[in-house]
Amino acid sequence: MTRTIDRESTSAAALQAAMRQMEDYWHELRGQHRLPQRRAVDPARLSAALPHAFLLQRVAPRVGRLRVAGQRLTQLLGMDPRGMPLSTFFHGEAREVVGARLADLFDKPAIVELPLAARRGLARPRLTGRMIALPLIGDDGLVSAALGALMVDGEIGTPPRRLEIGPGLTRVDPLVRQRPRPDEFAHGFAERRRPYLQLIVDND
């Protein structure tokens, strides 16, 4: 029997506010440290984002496995996604993009945001949204975990819903200070400005 999930859609503005709540909380946890600790995350501080939230554990260079997943993610997939790779939510081509961005997330490390979309089909309305992933220090002392949210605007319809990379901006914000180049010491001991790199890709 085909099961259809009919839920009142959350407004795009509410989703954006929930995503910003999550990022603000992550920055609060980070403070003056390089990155927040995974064990420091308190779900009670993520009230608006909690149904959309996930905790990710790195298991391969471009693979993250879901350790915790909010109710909205379960509705999207039609089953409990815990223990599954994040790529489970995406179509084949989009999985390559997600894998590359997970490598950025853990290796740079970086804050990552992706625009999302799901095609319209029978009993499946079109969905749009965004995903954010924020790197964390895992129990192993490495950048091997992430706090994130997968937020879509619209009724889910019949699960599972597979996502694509939607039109819009992809954000990759590296967080670690880069090593200075030798030529940067040529002008004495003046304080070097902290490098800032933001990659923005328009998928239109």
DSSP the chain: ----B--PPPPHHHHHHHHHHHHHHHHHHHTTSSS-BGGG--GGGGTTTGGGEEEEEEEETTEEEEEEE-HHHHHHHTS--TTSBGGGGB-HHHHHHHHHHHHHHHHTTEEEEEEEEE--BTTB--EEEEEEEEEEE-TTSSEEEEEEEEEEES--BSSP--BEE-SSEEEEEE-SPPPPPGGGGTTTTPPPPPP---EEEE--
Confidence of residue 32 (pLDDT cuts 50, 70, 90): confident
Domains of the chain and any CATH numbers: 12-175+194-202 (3.30.450.20)
Per-residue pLDDT at 73 exceeds 80 = yes
Per-residue pLDDT at 196 exceeds 50 = no
